[in-house]
A and B are shown apart, each in its own frame.
Chain A
Amino acid sequence: MTDSKEKLIAELVNKGLDGDMDAVNACEDRMIRAKAKAMIVKVGKGTAERPPLPEAVSSVVSEVLPKETAPVEVNKNVNQKVKDMVENEFPGSTIDGDDFIQLYPQKWFEIASWLRKEESLFFDSLQCQMGVDIGEENLESRYNLHSMKHDHYVEIRIAVSRSSPKIPSVEQIWRIADWFERETYDMLGIEFVGHRDLRRILLPDDWEGWPLRKDYQEQETYHGIVVPKVKEGWE
């Protein structure tokens, strides 16, 4: 709480010094207003340094001071629009697709952090991450992103080859991706580069094979226990 207050004060002081005293006066909280004004006076006198502008606008600050950023579109499915924006920001990273965004895996981490931070998109919630065996020697990882603030969602697809399935991990951007990626690794064997704790999550550590690949063969025994049902005698 105090942290966000300090950030707010720093922001107000900067605005005030730049001549925008209305923003300071418009502040609801008397304490913050008083502190900000006092600091402006101090900076003016030279007894205090100008506070550094808070860098990453955290969600807490953006609530207190709503910026004039309208959501991208009224339509909840903003795939086409977002795709153009991604292509603008990171040229050559998208592939043509219908109603989803198909990306090359190389720049996924940068794109993901941009999607998370960009004010007009603000995808703060990773709804679902899954892997699919799409055949043709390819595996695909799909991300359903959702913005709690603007209430819109997109779907992102990243295809990788079956022989070396490597995709940058986004678990540091959305914390839930940690477990989602572990599950996809567990089920399809897609390796997420940069994941800090990539282990099997559901199956035991010594399990063989990737069950959700279409060519999966059950193992015969696990620690001496027969895995497939022996059908003799009861069918």
Chain B
Amino acid sequence: MKRRDFFKIVGASTAAAMTGCARSPEQILPLVIPPDNLVPGVASWFSSVCRECPAGCGVVARNREGRIVKLEGNPDHPVNRGTLCIRGQAGLQGLYNPDRVRGPLRRDASGAPKPVAWEEAEKFLAERLAALIKDKQGRRIAVLTQLESGSLGRLMDAWGGALGARRRVAYEPFNYEAVRAASRVVFGRDAIPDYAFEDANVVLSFGADFLETWLSPVAHARGFARMHALAHGRAGTSIHVEPRLSMTAANADEWIRNTPGTERLLAVALLKVILDEGLQAPGVDLAALRGAIGAPDVGAIARQSGVPAETIKRVARALAKAKPGLAVGGGVAVTGIDAVDVQVAIHLLNYATGNVGRTVRFGPDSAFGKASSYADVLALTESMRRGEIEVLLVVHANPVFTLPATTAFADALKKVPLVVSFANQPDETSEHAHLILPDLHPLESWGDFSPREGVVGLMQPTMAPVFGSRAVGDVLIAVGRQALRSAEGKGPLRWATFQDYLKEQWRGIAREVAPGTPFDQFWEEALRRGGVWRGVPTVPVKAQPVAMASKRTATEDGAQGPTLLTYPSLRFYDGRGANKPWLQEAPDSMTQVAWDSWAEIPAERARTLQVRQGDLVRIASPHGAIELPAYISESLHPDAVAIPIGQGHTRYGRYAKDRGANPLALLPQAPTPGGLAFLSVRLTLTKTGGRRPLAIPQATANQDERELAQHVGLTAARELELRGAVPEKASHPSMYPDLKYPEYRWGMTIDVDSCIGCQACVIACKAENNVPVVGKEQVAYGRDMHWLRIERWQEGPPHHPDTLFLPMLCQHCEVAPCEPVCPVFASYHTQEGLNAQVYNRCVGTRYCNNNCPYHVRRFNWWDYGSPASSSYAFPDPLPLQLNPDVTVRQLGVMEKCTMCIQRIIGGKDRARDEGRKVTDGDILTACQQTCPTQAIVFGNLKDPSSRASRVSRSPRGYHVLDELGTRPAITYLKKVTRDHGKT
């Protein structure tokens, strides 16, 4: 039996059971034919690949009764090792997005999309293609896709070849082609290398938001945490150069605020200092290097960049002495007109300090290197505009949104007689499509993706399609064969389905990777494991230091005003995340703004403009203008204005539509050697007089001496580490006898030093625990429902603060203030040390939340859980995502973190089956499971040898608001601060 059919059956029966009202007679539907491996009520896990960005993390999808209820990182996958970022966690809301295209649509003469049958739609397309082939006009067919580094990409290339189409354009808005170009220049290798953060002792980043979106953030976060954490007395150092205090900058030990567009100068100055002081690695071609950098004046650069010469010298020494260090650069925010020169300088820096081959590894090259260049995209646009394209297929790319408006891609689309979109979410590009053939969601599809050389993740349908979508591969094969009038099994497109093609491709992989193994066994194993991976040796490269075209500046010549820093959003990436309400509702890590978009304006400039937070500001560049509410920043460089990319959709479903503005409208279309120049325009700001207050759940970033997020100096931390663990019972005295825990006492430790503020746990928690999304107004009014929040606290001078991220959730206090005040025992303490909240017992007095010093309890102000209510938070088909192990809360009850009680019960159940006690690893809370830096440890505090127990005795351990005597079950570990860069 085909797996697809079986899922269809289970899926249908669950849907029927779910829509049944609780009080009316309810139907229960048995399976007609039972599947081999699935028991209703028991979760099955299917591995796949996350396609929310090209990092290609492995995921496992938890299938309950035929529907996917949770995504988790694949623990075996070498990229993410079991963890996921915020966007990966939210991938499910793409699958169950209520605005998904439900079936093929064809636009009629009036321009309105009308549903058509699949056969009709395919036939229509095939006939158009056949007509072109007949006239030998195959060149008039173009395919525009996202980066597809696996079989689908190859199939589309084969398809294009068979039809004589143009070369496929694999468009990624952020393709980091400056890095690639610089690799070509310096190392003669057209590739983006693999950066080994974990092996570096000092990381110097030029604007690279490697913890947020750059290349492979989950892998980098893990590497960063390993590099940075204090272990055995050693701790790496991180230095970040950027005009804006990004999340990555906030995690650096030293944030250097430079004048926008001076990264190249700084890199050159660093090289100069290294060479002058003779700190270069042995074997470096000094003369060539000297020639490449010329004779820069460090003093002048210091003045120009606003970075003191002393700092430059100190950073240069730190990097050179790191052995190895790592210099990275090239987030979108530093992609100016001179981007390639910046990257060349950074490559040279790595070369000069001996990092190439150690922390900068060619060989396991990133898939980003395979994306088409911006120039290719522009060329295609130009062809379209000139009417050279008859049929354009757009597969998972949204260029109308992600290309600068100046490229006029939308106008070019209008010149194409037939635009076919395979988007399964209605977006700005599919708005212009004549035919929409919705592709399956990646979690419903077969496929594979190779994020870097040596790693191929395998995707399989983890559930039956939610709607009537078809796999783009299947459609292309079918349509191509119809157009070529060839039969199945024959011709260039002989495969019956894309699945067949995929398997054929994998036979090739099998031959290469496991020559001895029978293919079926290899295939099963790959499906189970989620792909194949093997080590790829580092390729030695030879540097050829060449002179940079140093006359180029970052921004457009002669322009005045603050520089636009537009950067990919941690939550929305290039905008594809904006249709996911979880991501919209998660506050931005740094500004804590939810739902909206904003322009971060330096406080000085805001004062001049007389702009307050939330005032609408018109932001104009020579290329366009947008309006956004102001976010006043003390820390942003006075010559910059920062705007995140990702919002401003005009058509991307209800959650994304008309929210904020798209800053790409401000950019010029002119290509540069480094692709699109994101940092190239200067702005004019005017106050419009309008207001749109931002939804910021965090009232203040000032801890007001309350020591919620604590820190300790590195030297002191080392000393403490040497002194060893603290005794467990250093708590406040009590009048009462101590509580007894017969079997377990659950507890948690959270390492504030490891927490990077990425919010992945927030979404994991939301997904696991059926936490409703409440909308901007409610978030702004302190009624957000997050059980877990990441707080951003700042200390020190406001223009250059130290940032502390503090994950705050129910502390499961032993002496819980919330418990005795509840009149009905809805809040009580379990014998396993959990602070329990019984939803169905709650009468809603809200006394508990008043009395909770941490305010981590969440009240259902509206009826989020009932379909009849106007505030229902789960429009169809989002209810399919709801975790069946967790009650959806009713109106008027309090809820909060349960430490994933359903997982605790499950873990205990499994242990009992095996006749043993629960040990480490049996139970992972959702937040712990997804944390890329593994800052969270959950476990049994009663067992002194459990990991949570051991970590909680760390000398860095403390309890938040300890002086209240609540005795929390969560121990935080103080952040270890470096004196580095402190004056």
* Co-complex (A, B): no
Interface residue ranges, B against A (CB under 8 Å): none
